[in-house]
Structure 1
Amino acid sequence: MLSVVVRLRSRVDRSQGPWQSSGGGAMSEPRKLEVLRAIVEDYVHSREPVGSKALVERHHLGVSSATIRNDMAVLEEEGLIAAPHTSAGRIPTDKGYRLFVDRISQVKPLSAAERRAIHSLLEGPDEVDDILERTVRLLSQLTNQVAVVQYPHSNRALVRHVEFVLLGPKQVLVVLIADTGSVGQKVIDAGSDVSNEALMLLRSRFLGSIAATQLALLPQVLPSVVALCPPELRSLAQTLAQGLQSLSDTSREERILMAGTANLARSNVDFPLSIGPVLEALEEQVVMLRLLSDMGDDPRGVTVSIGRENPYDGLAEASVVATGYGSGAKVGILGPTRMDYPTTMAAVRAVARYFSRILGG
């Protein structure tokens, strides 16, 4: 895994990068955009305010320190960089990061070796819970940020299989498997002794009636299935139907899975006000679900929300990089605004694409 992370990070070329300049007003001049790019990359790398002398020494900008100081003054006047204290150095603002991200002409593709590594790490059991856990762990390790993934939207999920397993004289395990790969199971009390023969008969009736039915439609379909069961088994059928309905409701709840929260603790210096509100936002799944759901689509396939662009005040010092997978759920990362955006965007997009392929989305 370490070699994958090292190779992924090495793709960020500090001298070139996927940077796109455009003609137009004063701030669109290529050199000033290059100065902003250099400041962002140096600050992300060093976590220290960047001065004009360091820019001249580390980057081939072709001009003097005095000229760079003038360019930095213009960038500061435009609100793209700022002085954090009395230091002569400058750091990017949210607006500066936004211009930097917007000028990335395209998200760098991963190398063949990186793609093979991600593919091998995501292979394994095809149950959606296992895939989700491997996905967030992998993405967190690749980016050193908090990885977040929404469970696949189940409004359109279909019933793939139903199973009833006798655990005891009165105990039955009800299993509901959706075509998304999600598996729900629930132990129910049948109220009286149950035979394997009765369960096999009812399983056949239920599966024959609800296979390929949308989970959202089960409340409408299950009563008619119960009504068609033999009278002597109707009470048991009703109990089993209630179990299936409960599993269907649970599978359609909006949920997220996270990994790498400890990475925030190692980045607490990037949250000068407090890391507390960020942790609270992560704990409040409703906040993260709403944030991910509200993030629109980007032509590059990856959406970035920076600092105060986030509607939740607690994330004013954080950025979210996310993209969709499957039927519209989102996968992404959350971290400080001082992050390696090109590498992070590449990792999020690549993992999401492999995730979609595994899920058949």
Structure 2
Amino acid sequence: MSDDRRLDVLRAIVQDYVATREPVGSRVLVERHSLGVSPATIRNDMAALEEHGFIAQPHTSAGRVPTDKGYRAFVDQISTIKPLSAAEKRAIQVLLDDAVDLDDVVERTVRLLAQLTHQVAVVQYPSLRRSALRHLELVPLSPQRLLVVIITDAGRVEQRTVETAAEIDPGVVAELRARLNVVCAGRRLSMITGPLSELPQQFPPTHRALVEAVSGELTDTLRMESEERIVMAGTANLARSDIDFTRTIGPVLEALEEQVVLLNLFSEMEDDAVAVRIGAENHHEGLVEASIVASAYGGDSTSEGVARLGVLGPTRMDYPGTMAAVRAVARYLSRILAG
């Protein structure tokens, strides 16, 4: 749609409909917005927008409502995302700065995002496969038991126990710890399986069983699939939006219960700073009347994020405000994990 004036009309319709839940007529547009044209011109523009599928007329109203195509055109023309207010930024900082560990950070983040957007908030745990190792620690627990601690750059900590038949030599443990951190620190987990497989040959035969056991435990941990999980908050917000669904919210709630659905949607979303999927773009029957606004977090300017967070709600959503909140929370969470 190249006509700037019609885009202004569409923008006004979206803003009014999101604010009021009422179909928008030409008279309302004239009264509320300074569009600089006559009511007749606005009616002609609305007719053109309807003809091209950007707005539609409900059966019970003379006004118009945006379609998925209309929302998409509205979102695509948002060139700059308005920053959050100083009070909102302080709320993010105060809540997240007091977190004590990764689990606490994720729980606080998802509650905060639900409060800021009044939608269902979803936070994916940092992916072990997309993280880089910050440090590996080996802690002897007994003469034949060794604790392996894996610390990632996303703040994730995994612990595994290795048992050996022979007594563990503290000197070998110290050397193995040093070599592991040289090989692994700062690398993505997917890039260290090769070096790990070569590590046993760097030790005398009498100590290779221990090295192989530790390397094998690390490799098995990195191959785990169970770490892909999400946390949600604000489902009650969806219930309060029941009027926005022409059917029921049942299919949406069912989709939310299937974590694999949201994980797949997150994996399919673009790598933009803030990605938006509207209605049928979600490619899931239960979400054809819902929108998802998401962003990656935990990465830097040279790499993709380690996971995603976002919100899900009806297509009648405050897209600018929601996009601003998602972007701000993702950025702050990234800074916390980096620190």
Does the alignment reach a TM-score above 0.5? yes
Q: Does 2:74 align with 1:100?
A: yes
- The Cα of 1:91 is off from its aligned counterpart by 1.1
Q: May I ask how many residue pairs the two structures share in their alignment?
A: 328
In 1: Cα distance, 2:60 partner to 2:204 partner: 83
Name the aligned partner's letter for residue 160 of structure 1: H
**Residues 205 and 225 of structure 1 are in contact (CA less than 8 Å); yes or no, is this contact kept in structure 2?**
no
Match of 1:263 among 237, 261, 278: 237
In 2: Cα distance, 1:201 partner to 1:124 partner: 39
In 2: Cα distance, 1:35 partner to 1:239 partner: 66
Name the aligned partner's letter for residue 272 of structure 1: T
Match of 1:312 among 284, 290, 299: 284
In 2: Cα distance, 1:123 partner to 1:287 partner: 31
In 2: Cα distance, 1:283 partner to 1:164 partner: 39
Residues 262-341 of structure 1 aligned to structure 2 (within 5 Å): 262-298=236-272, 301-325=273-297, 326=299, 327-329=303-305, 330-341=308-319
Name the aligned partner's letter for residue 204 of structure 1: A
Q: Secondary structure of the equivalent of 1:250?
A: coil
- The Cα of 1:315 is off from its aligned counterpart by 1.9
- The Cα of 1:77 is off from its aligned counterpart by 1.9
Residues 98-177 of structure 1 aligned to structure 2 (within 5 Å): 98-125=72-99, 127-153=101-127, 154-155=129-130, 157-164=132-139, 166=141, 173-177=147-151
Alpha-carbon spacing, 1:67–1:122, altered in 2? closer, same or farther (3 Å): same
In 2: Cα distance, 1:220 partner to 1:104 partner: 45
Q: Deviations over 1:53-100 (max 9, x none)?
A: 333443344566555444333322221111222222221111111121
In 1: Cα distance, 2:93 partner to 2:21 partner: 33
- The Cα of 1:242 is off from its aligned counterpart by 4.2
- The Cα of 1:238 is off from its aligned counterpart by 5.0
In 2: Cα distance, 1:130 partner to 1:226 partner: 37
**Residues 159 and 210 of structure 1 are in contact (CA less than 8 Å); yes or no, is this contact kept in structure 2?**
no
Identity fraction in percent: 57
- The Cα of 1:173 is off from its aligned counterpart by 4.6
Alpha-carbon spacing, 1:171–1:297, altered in 2? closer, same or farther (3 Å): closer
Residues 35-114 of structure 1 aligned to structure 2 (within 5 Å): 35-61=9-35, 68-114=42-88
Name the aligned partner's letter for residue 302 of structure 1: V
TM-score by length of 2: 0.81
In 1: Cα distance, 2:197 partner to 2:14 partner: 61
In 2: Cα distance, 1:61 partner to 1:199 partner: 80
Alpha-carbon spacing, 1:251–1:311, altered in 2? closer, same or farther (3 Å): closer
- The Cα of 1:257 is off from its aligned counterpart by 3.2
1:9 corresponds to: none
Q: Secondary structure of the equivalent of 2:223?
A: helix
- The Cα of 1:223 is off from its aligned counterpart by 5.2
- The Cα of 1:217 is off from its aligned counterpart by 4.8
Q: Provide the aligned C-alpha RMSD in A.
A: 3.3
Moved more, 135-144 or 257-266: 257-266
- The Cα of 1:235 is off from its aligned counterpart by 5.3
Q: Secondary structure of the equivalent of 2:61?
A: coil
Q: Which runs of 5+ in 2 are unaligned?
A: none
1:348 corresponds to: 326
**Residues 133 and 257 of structure 1 are in contact (CA less than 8 Å); yes or no, is this contact kept in structure 2?**
yes
Name the aligned partner's letter for residue 331 of structure 2: R
Name the aligned partner's letter for residue 320 of structure 2: P
Q: Secondary structure of the equivalent of 1:129?
A: helix
Q: Which runs of 5+ in 1 are unaligned?
A: 1-21
In 1: Cα distance, 2:110 partner to 2:37 partner: 44
TM-score by length of 1: 0.76
In 1: Cα distance, 2:236 partner to 2:220 partner: 34
Q: Does 2:208 align with 1:208?
A: no
**Residues 182 and 251 of structure 1 are in contact (CA less than 8 Å); yes or no, is this contact kept in structure 2?**
no
Alpha-carbon spacing, 1:68–1:179, altered in 2? closer, same or farther (3 Å): closer
- The Cα of 1:136 is off from its aligned counterpart by 1.9
In 2: Cα distance, 1:193 partner to 1:269 partner: 67
